[in-house]
Chains A and B, each alone.
Chain A
Amino acid sequence: MAFLIKFKALYTMLHRVSDMARLAAAFAAAWLAIVAGTAFAAPADDLKEAQKLYGQGKLEPALEKDEAYLKAEPRDPQGRFLKGLILTEQKKTQEAIQVFQGLTEDFPELPEPYNNLAVLYASQGNYEKAKSALELAIHTHPTYATAHENLGDIYAELASRAYDRALQLDKNNTTAKVKLAMVKDLFSAQKLATRAQSVGPGPSSGTEAPKGEAAKPAPAKAQAPSAGAELPAAKSGTQARSEPQRTAQVTAAPRKATAAPKPQSSGADANAQVAAAVAEWARAWSAKDVKGYLAHYAPDFELPKGTTREAWEKQRAERIERPKSIDVQAKIISARVDGDEAIVKIRQSYRSDSLKSHSTKTLRLEKSGERWLIKQERIGG
């Protein structure tokens, strides 16, 4: 969607403002003549036809014409670029990547193939590669607005993933892929740059061309937050919050929406359930009910190092079955329920015919359906 808008803007701008289009085309032609030598000789008709067909959405015939053109001019960047676009729309992503990749190798000074390569990588969820490609596009043309916007999207996506990892929220695989803006016109960056230079800032309002220009008055603002945003540095009193430059729109955005919503069963209720689960666990143990006892442990219960679930269950069973009698009292010292998770500290008094022991234990329980199961059990307090 984003690309449609951008592309339309670009397209209409190039055609409506005919002076400019002619100027730009002239520049592009001159430039291309240098790059591709005799590219604009006779077979150029095939290319024009291919571009027209592509514009009408007739992908198959467009590709045929383009291939014919490329037979005569195999190195020609325009023809290859168009081929990349057609393959992209045909969802032949891998082939399209090869075409744009080839263009970046043969014409490393052109930013558009890098941009489109990045779009394709991003569509595959390969953001690191997309990022590198966009950085190269910007390296060749520092004022290339589309690449900047795309790169901004990629950075934000990568940032979001890093933040998720910081809080160990693993949901990367389930989110939608970032959709970036494909560039449909080779030399778009050059055209815009020329126009901006030769025409000046005057009549350009409403197009995306002046992005590079518009950025100029901003340096003071852009600099402020990175140098001045409070990091949690030396003075611990102040919190790292102030961000002078954040826009009202972003600040106002509701923040709870993404904070891993945990279903809050009513506090007292959940506490009672957890307490009941712990009591039931101690009861099953006391009753030497091995099956009942083991049923209190979650399938992903954290096992002691170097043991398997099977070995652990066997060992538990032996220890529970061996004594003639067992009495386990679990007195809850503290319990904290947070959504589907609970941390319970207990004072455990164990007595069998052969052993008596007291210990403090920490149980981590997780709600699974209607039951609270033990995920972790450790000694200490």
Chain B
Amino acid sequence: MRRDRLRAGARLGARLAVVAFALSATALADGSLVPAGSGPAFANQVEAALVRSIVDLRGAALKSALDQIDKVLAARPNFRLAQLVKGDILMAQAGRPVAFASNALPAADLAPLQDEARARLRRYLDAPPVDELPEALLQLAKDQPYALLVDTSRSRLYVYANDLGTPRYVTDFYISLGKYGIDKEREGDQKTPIGVYTVVAEKEKVPDFYGPRAFPISYPNDWDRLHGRKGHGIWLHGTPSATYSRPPWATDGCVVLANDDLARLAKYVDVSRTPVVIGQSVRWRDRRAWEADRESFLAAFDGWRKDWESRDTGRYLSHYSSRFRSESGDLPAWKARKREVNAGKSWIKVGIQDLSLFAYPGAKGIVMATFVQDYRSSNLSNRTVKRQYWIREGGEWRILHESVVS
């Protein structure tokens, strides 16, 4: 029945076809589909051709639109959005343009594909600014050659390389996220967590549903546990063989990439090292502002280290927030113990190595610092991996939470 309707439409529109054909050669792209600046190219050629095809269709350059989409479909016949765009191009050629199959298909089935088109087009129109730095990646440690940064509002995963601690844009991919959005709280809520995680494993023998491999990440981390967040099994993984890509909001909370993108991403993943920072929307800062942010934090951090070495416990404790929760939970007792320990020493040296800093996504004014602490003193020395959460309180950075990772 639908077929008949499409055909009837085509007949009605047949007289227009002559004109549509003549137009296609000369019509120019609509102004609104011109990208804002010249951003980095798409890493994925399939996606690049899809986007060009949509832009051409919008500009009534039907022949070129069809060429592009045929190229896409020759490479990825299971790319559902590309099939949809092809349908639209053909309807335009039949003399009856249709925007996203409207009225040809049920709206509820189309909405996810329209969302995907929007997300992919947005990457073209509003490309990531490569000369600016993401606010969240404040410093990468030596043993973190790359960091992955997820922007849930744009359905995008960015790869940043570690240039002596400073992030440098490498590439980015389209991703699908939890069916019910972000801010995972509970098991089974089908949401994607917001926070700073690490890739903890690589699984190669997974069911077809997950694509060729999967990278589980460290949700829930210590920050999530402090906030009572539960659940498990958040992975970066691929798509089932039947589908090249999934709509932006479709997973059970996992971060899902097309299988060819997952293969590209794998080059940058180092199990138990690569940070995965998932935030609602990446904020880019120009280099100077970004450096000022980092300096301001590092000054506070170094103040804490020096004041600890000074054995002036009052100054040392002034770096801890009044909301600081020690692992035992009893703040006065913890402070008293610190005083006692420090008093029994004639000297303290605190060395810091492999410091990584992340402006914590989803929590305002929080920095997560992870580092190797080389502690030496007159009567005790140890080497631990420590994690601190710092909070900005009235212009001052103070420690909110502290724990030994290993």
Contact = CB atoms under 8 A, between A and B. Distances in A.
A156 B15 contact: no
B225 interface: no
A229 B97 contact: yes
Contacts of B17: 148, 151-152, 215
B14 interface: yes
A333 B189 CA distance: 10
A218 interface: yes
Interface residues of B, number: 86
A156 to B, nearest CB: 4
A345 B80 contact: no
Interface stretch (B203-211, B324-332, B357-365, B396-404): B203-211
B97 A259 contact: no
A219 B83 contact: no
A376 to B, nearest CB: 7
Interface stretch (B3-11, B310-318, B339-347, B377-385): B3-11
Contacts of B94: 151-153, 155-156, 159
Contacts of B20: 222, 226
Interface residues of A, number: 77
B5 A215 contact: no
Contacts of B30: 227
A257 B84 CA distance: 20
B207 A378 contact: yes
B32 A160 contact: no
A305 B7 contact: no
B18 A143 contact: yes
A168 B242 contact: yes
B117 interface: yes
Determine chain B's interface SS by DSSP, over half rule. Answer: helix
Interface string B90-113: 111111111111111110010001
Chain B CB count within 10 A is highest, among A212, A214, A305, for A305
B190 interface: yes
Interface string A269-287: 0000000000000000000
Contact of B252 (A214, A306, A380): A380
Given A159-B87, A218-B15, A380-B233, A243 B99 contact: yes
B54 A231 contact: yes
Contact of A215 (B15, B32, B91, B125): B15
Interface stretch (A41-49, A63-71, A232-240, A349-357): A232-240
24 contacts: A153-B11, A156-B9, A159-B88, A159-B89, A159-B90, A160-B2, A163-B87, A165-B80, A166-B105, A166-B113, A168-B80, A223-B27, A226-B27, A231-B57, A231-B117, A234-B125, A239-B114, A247-B9, A249-B12, A253-B103, A302-B209, A304-B205, A381-B252, A381-B253
